[in-house]
A and B are shown apart, each in its own frame.
Chain A
Amino acid sequence: MSTESRADDPRSIEASDSTRGYLGADYSIKSWLLTTDHKRIALLYLASITVFFIFGGAAASLVRMELMTPRGDVFNTPDDYNRAFTIHGVFMIFFFLIPSIPAVFGNFLLPIMIGARDLAFPRLNLLSWYVYMAGGLFTMYALVSGGVDTGWTFYTPYSTMFSNTQVIAAAMGIFIVGFSSILTALNFIVTIHTMRAPGMTWLRLPLFVWAHYATSIIIVLGTPVLAITILLVAVERLFQVGIFDPAYGGDPLLFQHLFWFYSHPAVYIMILPGFGVISEIVTAFARKKIFGYTFMAGALLAIAVLGFLVWGHHMFVSSQSMYAGMIFSVLSFLVAVPSGIKVFNWTATLYKGSVSFKTPMLYALGFIGLFTIGGLTGLFLATMAVDVHVHDTYFIVAHFHYVMVGGMLMAYMGGLHFWWPKITGRLYSEFWGALSALTIFIGFNLTFFPQFILGYVGMPRRYYEYPQEYQVLNVMSTAGASILAVGYLMPLIYLPLSLVIGKVAGKNPWGAYGLEWQTSSPPSPHNFEESPIVTGGPYDYELQEFADMHRAVQEHGIV
């Protein structure tokens, strides 16, 4: 590939302050808000996603405080409580979990990992951030000016007929943010297909890239169905068009089918990018080739496909036919196979590896443990008889928090710590990093494990008062939530601080393999001084020259 400079091309970015890479290319506000550099756009996302996360987290704290006592005391009415957990659910799902890893790390790393200079459509990429912000601010407006009390699931006919809250506005916010994920996913798919560096064959793609490929396919096929569903809810509310509402001749079950056709795959939109992150971290810190690379990539695609066939397990107790239920139950068990392959292969990679327990690795280990618990309880729920017992109880709440917070959020934090030196060029304090990982792990389990028991003994979800006998477990859960909050606050302090006092990271602080570690930290605006030519697989940790480099890292700390 030629790397001749295009100095005469007005579109090429000016040569930059070489030690500050893309961060030093220009310092004006305009250069950030109008940037088409995928790395800067990733940082725009990082900042906005963090804000939405804090917003959703504040709502969670209120919910948890309310549940500390059996009586309603924090909120004046059950309606206010409903609004609070809806804010929490909507922001965490649509504005944090779904975009987070793809929009931040995918944006930043995907082009670098395949040796490209940018995503295929840089301006579309910027547009998708603006669309995300528009959707976010719109929803925020809807939720603070009157709020929504339907829960993040917007079940009809409650949402179309009875709820007198801002359903239409919130639905439109979610509709808008859906476009943002579609645009990002399109961009990823095209980039992976057409922008790979010479030698970067499909079977040399890092698993992180494979994960984003699988995720993008789910987004492209699933999100439009959510978009039309939500649009129909809004239209039905506005014009009394009868599609879901029995009063107008429609069918509320149709809503559930359409909604879960998207929203079950959506849980894989949330978790697959996490799988990608964990694969990168595990090989890097075990210093071993990932075990069964092709199976790992295949499992990602298998999950993407199977994920579309199991939505009916959310409807076991609806009036869906028993036979449909049986089929959905069996298909749901099938999804466990590729997920099991992933966990097994990570473990096999760690086995006899020279594992170093740095902060990203601690988060990754937390992920593997918690995701396994979340996934296994998913199997309980896929068993119809058990699901009938625990449906809409705190068992469900515990299950999805184990998968989404214990899984996805751990992966997000792990990725943040793994690539922070690459993104910023600075190292954070290992001590504080490890402490945050540990605090989050402990806080998480104390918060959500009691909820399994609560649900099993019968406490329903979405109630703000409950019988006295559930209080002990609820207090434990709220106490855990406070510890969890402290764990999340720590990185908010030591990571920004590292920008000022952190040690310079160098190209490759972890001695890891992969194209992103061969360019400077932070990378230059064009990612590489010279376009790379790829000659080997993604995780050749066994190569001699690599072993030598690793020894150099161990001895001198920095490459």
Chain B
Amino acid sequence: MSSATAHAHDNTYGQDDTYLYHHFDDLNQQHESSSLGMWAFLATEVLFFGGVLGAFAIFQTMYAPAMRLASHHLDVMLGAVNTGVLLVSSLAMALAVRAAQLRRDRETIWLLIATIVLGSAFLGVKAYEWIHDYHLGLVPGLGFRLDLYPGRQILFWSFYFTLTGIHALHMIIGIVIMAIMAVLVWRRWFSGGGATQVEMLGLYWHFVDIVWVFLYPILYLINR
């Protein structure tokens, strides 16, 4: 698509009329729709995680001793490092959104790449933890050692892998979209007008980070 030169009808979101779809009246309406859509989608995500988190909270109180025993096998340090990595990635993402709004394409691309790298680092650490757990015989269904970890401890691990698993899945999806977005900015697909898209991606990424900010204390810390 040819690059837009006339910015006659700019709105405040770093886009111009070339990006107005025919069924909207103006860019403000279009931007408002995108953000409301994203927020509503995030509401569904809250409920999605909320279902498992609620269930886990109930078991956590019902079987507190077993949960405590199990949780001690997690490495608090690794979890803390990962929390830090993820928070920095959120910062990079926020800067990417800002850069996109200012139409600084190169900066946007680099910041997206930084976010991808940090997100991948998180997943790397996570994978390392999982492999470690596997060797300890902590993975239900894949050689769980009931003799070593008797009682309800398996319940903790079922929830641990479900929660961290769906969280990791969300991160992978985010990373893939970020990569696509970086290429699109690079190919000047948006011609500096992709601010809304990058902004929505940013909301998603912050949400995924916030989920982890809940998971870390619930899984790693409260049983100390």
Contact = CB atoms under 8 A, between A and B. Distances in A.
B153 to A, nearest CB: 8
B140 A189 contact: no
Interface range for B:
35 or more
B44 A182 contact: yes
A239 B142 contact: yes
Interface in B32-50: 32-33, 36-37, 40-41, 43-45, 47-50
Interface in B7-44: 21-25, 29, 32-33, 36-37, 40-41, 43-44
A118 B49 CA distance: 32
Interface in A1-58: 1-2, 6, 9, 11-13
B80 interface: no
Contacts of A261: 51
Contact of B22 (A117, A191, A249): A117
Contact of A224 (B33, B37, B51, B155): B51
B219 interface: no
A119 B154 CA distance: 47
Contact of A249 (B32, B152, B166): B152
A160 to B, nearest CB: 12
A221 interface: yes
Nearest to B59: A251
Interface string A485-505: 000000000000000000000
Nearest to A248: B154
A127 interface: no
A471 to B, nearest CB: 44
B46 to A, nearest CB: 8
B40 A242 contact: no
Contacts of B23: 116-120, 122, 195
Interface string A159-201: 0000000000000000000000010001101110111000000
Interface stretch (B118-126, B156-164, B175-183): B156-164
A240 B155 CA distance: 11
Contact of B37 (A11, A121, A221, A250): A121
B51 A225 contact: yes
Interface string A221-239: 1111101110110010011
B55 interface: yes
A508 to B, nearest CB: 24
Contacts of A534: none
Contacts of B52: 228, 232
A397 interface: no
Contact of B21 (A2, A11, A189): A11
Given A9-B22, A249-B152, A190 B44 contact: no
Q: Which of B51, B59, B155 counts the most A-chain CB atoms under 10 A from its CB?
A: B51
Given A239-B142, A254-B58, A186 B155 contact: no
Contact of A242 (B37, B41, B50, B140): B140
Interface in B114-145: 140-142
B155 A250 contact: yes
Contacts of A258: 51, 55
A220 interface: yes
Consensus secondary structure, chain B interface? helix
A222 B48 CA distance: 9
Contacts of B47: 220-222, 224-225
Contacts of A238: 141
Interface string B51-75: 1100100110000000000000000
Contacts of B33: 120-121, 190-191, 193-195
A343 interface: no
A241 interface: yes
Contacts of B37: 120-121, 186-187, 190
B87 to A, nearest CB: 25
Contact of B40 (A9, A220, A223, A225): A220
Nearest to A220: B44
B36 A11 contact: no
Contacts of B24: 195
Contacts of B51: 224-225, 228-229, 258, 261
A62 interface: no
A189 B36 contact: yes
Contacts of A189: 36, 40
A2 B22 CA distance: 13
A249 B154 contact: yes
Given A6-B22, A122-B23, A225-B47, A190 B140 contact: no
A120 B24 CA distance: 8
Contact of A1 (B25, B43, B140, B166): B25
Given A9-B22, A190-B40, 12 more contacts: A119-B23, A182-B44, A186-B37, A193-B32, A194-B33, A221-B47, A231-B166, A241-B162, A242-B155, A243-B158, A248-B155, A248-B158
Interface of B: 21-25, 29, 32-33, 36-37, 40-41, 43-45, 47-52, 55, 58-59, 140-142, 151-152, 154-155, 158-159, 161-162, 166
19 contacts: A1-B25, A6-B22, A12-B22, A13-B22, A190-B33, A190-B36, A190-B37, A190-B40, A195-B23, A195-B33, A221-B43, A228-B51, A232-B162, A235-B162, A238-B141, A241-B158, A248-B154, A249-B158, A254-B55
